[in-house]
Amino acid sequence: MQEKDLALRIAQVLYDRKAQDILVLKVGHLTVLTDYLVIANGNNALQTRALMEHVDEALSREGITPTRLEGQNESRWIVMDYNSVIVHLFHPEDRSFYRLERLWADGNNRVELPFEQTSEQAEPAQ
């Protein structure tokens, strides 16, 4: 699976499980650590952990496993490292505090998500 496809697949899995504020950033031109970041949050630590478990299960069924998994015990900031894609799952307060999107967004690297287009098209014009 290509890097962008993996990032979009993860975003879709998170969306299907009601993750909040899902963001995918292409960061390969900014760092050697990864090509894409997927950032999202749950409503609380319990949901954040459930999101991590769901992503892990969904991708494991496709033969894709993280090389590293951090933060699942506290479930306030969970990092799932898939090499070319790093997933950050936050408790809302921690996401507001660390503001990763401000560190990594360059104004042109946000990846448009298919489900964002669908919800924008479904909204009636005002």
Asked whether the predicted pLDDT for residue 126 surpasses 80, the reply is no
d(CA 82, CA 87): 8
Asked whether the predicted pLDDT for residue 112 surpasses 90, the reply is yes
pLDDT for 107 equals: 84
All structural domains of the chain = 3-105 (3.30.460.10)
Residue 31: which residues within 8 A CB-CB, separation 6 or more?
none
Average pLDDT score over residue span 99-122: 81
Counting Cα atoms < 13 Å in the Cβ hemisphere of 91 gives 13
pLDDT for 79 equals: 97
Asked whether the predicted pLDDT for residue 123 surpasses 60, the reply is no
pLDDT in tens, 42-99: 999 999 999 999 999 999 999 999 999 999 888 899 999 999 999 999 999 999 999 9
Confidence of residue 105 (pLDDT cuts 50, 70, 90): confident
